[in-house]
Structure 1
Amino acid sequence: MTTYKTPKINGVSFVASRDSISVEHVKPLVNINANYAAIMPFGFFRDVNSPTIIYNTKRQWFGESKQGAKQYIEVLHAQGVKVMMKPHIWIGRGNFTGHVTMTSEEKWQQFEASYSRFILDFAELAEQTNAELLCIGTELEKFIEHRPEYWHELINKIKKVYKGKLTYAANWDEFKRTPFWSELDYIGVDAYFPVSDAQTPTVEECLEGWKAHKAVISEVSDKFDKPILFTEFGYRSVDYSGKEPWKSDRNMNSVNMKAQVNTTKALFDTFWQEDWFAGGFIWKWFRNHEKSGGENNTQFTPQNKPVEAIIKETY
């Protein structure tokens, strides 16, 4: 087992907004000792019948555009916060990106050409702004499964324009099958692993729930001799937060701060001391700290909630 003695990536997933950011928007994340932020510009396509990614348009929010991503990175860097460029795609009708497949060879080629343009454009921006890390995709399992050759070629193209570190954000149930880890610097995992079925899971229950997952994660790190990076992690402040942590279901609306605190603490206790673990990005952090999260909020953000103290202490 290789050990990686580098400072942990103590990151937040910094949500794109309609406005630019300034020092005051970065201070709250510096206050919780975060040393990294994921910047997430967006592209979208309507459905599998028109798989051309639309991005960097006037209709999008500023933070989702190239200009916005650049402005965010410059302000973060000025405050000593490092950056992971993490472009996302969104599909109409709320379809999960991991399930997307094309109906013909022609459609696949159209999608590939479009995805290459999208990622290479942001790879160039990442190089230009000296972003420390680039995530080449997020939760695209079927795309990778059906078109592995395309991905190997894409990684080669990315390396020609971007000289920093590379990862890919595999879903928690996907990372074991991702075929190109040996070509990247970090094994990226969106860590929404189920850890407890309890309404208010205890730290102990979650630690127990992590054991089997941790063994597999550690094994994959060993197999490829690469550190693990949680490209996303976090829990909602709701009942049953550890049961299906990926759910953003609006019907789950019973506020439970203790559940969020305990699940988060167990994740930190399980991974943050491991040499093969590089760190991660909490999901998710909003620009306007004062108005984000709070005691009635049931969503993922840790802002203005008890869990913020746990993150600060670990980071």
Structure 2
Amino acid sequence: MAKAILGDISIDHQQDMDYVSEHMTAVIMGPGCGEGSLSIRSIEEICKTLPNLEWVGIPVSWFIDSLDISSAKIKPGSEKRRDEIKEDSWLVSSYDRNNAHAIARKNSYDPSTIRYGGTMPDEEVLKFVNALKEQGKKVAFYPFLMVDNESKDWRGYITGSAEQVEMFYTNQYQPFVMHYAFLLRDKVDMFYIGSELEGLTVIKGEERNFPFVNNLCGLAANVRSIVGEKVQISYAANWSEYLHCKGGYRPLDTLWSDQNINFVGIDYYMPLTDVDNQQITLESIKNGFTSSEGWDYFYQDSTQIIIDQDYNRWKNIGYWQSSDHWAWDSEKGESYKTSWIPNSKPIIFSEFGFRSIEMATNTPNVYGSSLPKHSNGSTDFPLQIKAIRATLEHISENPAIQTGFCYVWDARGYGWQNSYVDGHQWAQGHWIDGKLQILQTK
């Protein structure tokens, strides 16, 4: 089956698949939502395909109904309506289908038109985590926010005023994360307190105060008091978020230097190539970690602007990790040293991944119907695996990086593409399941 899907396998592609299968040590299970999406069979498949796998990341989504924190509500989401079922055991925290968020549908009477799958019930999450532990895997947990609006906006667009942050955090965000700290106490080895909340972490209060970042520090302490000292805790920052924000401030340095944060988490979807019709090779992808956009230059509209200082190179994470950090206070017109201590924390790629589409390495962060820069939209399985290999090699060669979690292996199990509405996206998506199984037929 895999050969029929992937076509003839070249020697180079086979070698890349062999390398990825042997060296992949950390993977994120998708899709992060769907009430029956955690299939135990998927664990058997991933263990067979990736024999040296050590870590498995599990995202579980709750839903936010607005990008405006002044009115937004965060709740677990229900796929089904109460009047559509006779008996039901779906429970998440204190929510059942009577008080959970009813995920929007295009046609309210047709369950197949639902915008997202629902939140996995607590019982299913625990069963899946236990099954992974029985296989000897370490588990990383990601509490995940999905925006349930018509455009399915990225969670990084959630924002508001500094005055609104405390109420939003206390009444909405904190209960969401703390539920899983209690549920998964003594069950997981790594716990994220959030991911890619860029619109919240940049909200500035008085002076150099960033209230949501302060809330995340308090949340890390609360989670630590529950899960204990052995569990690694961090936040998964977007690649455009971890370094600095508008005005020259470095808001996340307060979090990165916090005593309850074990490592710097970066969702690494930085552009690694910047080509149109040239062939993309393993070497050119690897070179992209220390060159081109984000290292040598950045784009302002379509104009290349030269970067001539290491502290402005957002790809130079080795320099960032090993150096004192100075920020710029645009209001006062002065620089100041942050609380970051050089070499104090390792970096983990909390996510990295590539679509199997032409020119994927030009713009790894684009999803859905959007095409990577200069892509003609054709399917390219070899490029995806080659890019993953290049990333794994870069991680192994960079002492600042502890490990990286590849996105994504689908937890719905073998053949899910034929049973779910998003199955048609598999061929050109970030999924790696079904794209490495050819190894099993050698």
Q: Normalising by the residue count of structure 1, what TM-score does the alignment of the two structures yield?
A: 0.85
In structure 1, the residue matched to 2:362 is: 243
In structure 2, the residue matched to 1:219 is: 319
Partner residue of 2:256 out of 160, 175, 181: 181
In structure 2, the residue matched to 1:24 is: 41
Q: Write out aligned runs for 1:158-237 (5 A).
A: 158-163=223-228, 164-177=231-244, 178-179=252-253, 180-183=255-258, 184-198=261-275, 201-211=280-290, 212=295, 216-222=316-322, 223-237=342-356
Q: Write out aligned runs for 1:37-48 (5 A).
A: 37-47=56-66, 48=68
Higher relative contact order (CA 8 A, sep 6+): 1
Moved more, 162-171 or 288-297: 288-297
Moved more, 67-76 or 227-236: 67-76
Contact 1:41/1:65, CA 8 A, preserved across alignment = no
In structure 1, the residue matched to 2:113 is: none
How far the C-alpha of 1:111 sits from its partner, in A, is: 4.1
Residue 193 (structure 2) pairs with residue 136 (structure 1): yes
In structure 2, the residue matched to 1:157 is: 222
RMSD after superposition: 2.7
Contact 1:292/1:303, CA 8 A, preserved across alignment = no
1:38–1:217 Cα change, 3 Å: same
1:87–1:269 Cα change, 3 Å: same
Residue 171 (structure 2) pairs with residue 113 (structure 1): yes
SS in 1 for 2:145: strand
Contact 2:407/2:431, CA 8 A, preserved across alignment = yes
Partner residue of 2:383 out of 239, 251, 259: 259
CA shift digits 1:255-302 (9 cap, x unpaired): 111221221121112112333321121111112442257997010011
1-side partners of 2:120 and 2:411: how far apart? 13
Residue 215 (structure 2) pairs with residue 91 (structure 1): no
Contact 2:272/2:362, CA 8 A, preserved across alignment = yes
The amino acid of 1:278's aligned partner reads Q
2-side partners of 1:45 and 1:21: how far apart? 22
Moved more, 89-98 or 195-204: 195-204
1:10–1:204 Cα change, 3 Å: same
1-side partners of 2:186 and 2:394: how far apart? 36
Residue 60 (structure 2) pairs with residue 11 (structure 1): no
The amino acid of 1:42's aligned partner reads S
1:251–1:218 Cα change, 3 Å: closer
How far the C-alpha of 1:224 sits from its partner, in A, is: 4.8
How far the C-alpha of 1:66 sits from its partner, in A, is: 2.6
How far the C-alpha of 1:305 sits from its partner, in A, is: 1.4
Contact 2:158/2:197, CA 8 A, preserved across alignment = yes
The amino acid of 1:246's aligned partner reads N
Partner residue of 2:429 out of 299, 306, 310: 299
Contact 2:39/2:412, CA 8 A, preserved across alignment = no
Q: Normalising by the residue count of structure 2, what TM-score does the alignment of the two structures yield?
A: 0.62
2-side partners of 1:34 and 1:197: how far apart? 31
2-side partners of 1:54 and 1:282: how far apart? 27
1:175–1:153 Cα change, 3 Å: same
How far the C-alpha of 1:188 sits from its partner, in A, is: 0.5
In structure 1, the residue matched to 2:183 is: 125
2-side partners of 1:117 and 1:167: how far apart? 18
The amino acid of 2:233's aligned partner reads L
Contact 2:42/2:414, CA 8 A, preserved across alignment = no
Contact 1:98/1:140, CA 8 A, preserved across alignment = yes
Identity of aligned residues (%): 21
1:140–1:107 Cα change, 3 Å: closer
1:160–1:277 Cα change, 3 Å: same
The amino acid of 1:185's aligned partner reads N
SS in 2 for 1:86: strand
CA shift digits 1:21-63 (9 cap, x unpaired): 5653212221213211111111111102532211235468676
More helix by share: 1
SS in 2 for 1:176: coil
1:111–1:167 Cα change, 3 Å: closer
2-side partners of 1:124 and 1:274: how far apart? 35
2-side partners of 1:260 and 1:231: how far apart? 18
CA shift digits 1:43-102 (9 cap, x unpaired): 111102532211235468676333222121111111111100111011123222223212
2-side partners of 1:87 and 1:226: how far apart? 22
1:234–1:92 Cα change, 3 Å: same
How far the C-alpha of 1:215 sits from its partner, in A, is: 6.0
Contact 1:257/1:306, CA 8 A, preserved across alignment = no
The amino acid of 1:134's aligned partner reads F
The amino acid of 1:219's aligned partner reads Y
Can you give the 5+ residue segments of structure 2 that lack an aligned partner in the other structure?
A: 1-22, 77-91, 104-116, 204-210, 245-251, 296-312, 323-341, 372-376, 418-422
Residue 74 (structure 2) pairs with residue 53 (structure 1): yes
1:207–1:21 Cα change, 3 Å: closer
Moved more, 205-214 or 85-94: 205-214
1-side partners of 2:317 and 2:429: how far apart? 26
How far the C-alpha of 1:121 sits from its partner, in A, is: 1.0
Moved more, 67-76 or 207-216: 207-216
SS in 1 for 2:176: helix
1:292–1:259 Cα change, 3 Å: farther
Can you give the 5+ residue segments of structure 1 that lack an aligned partner in the other structure?
A: 1-7, 310-315
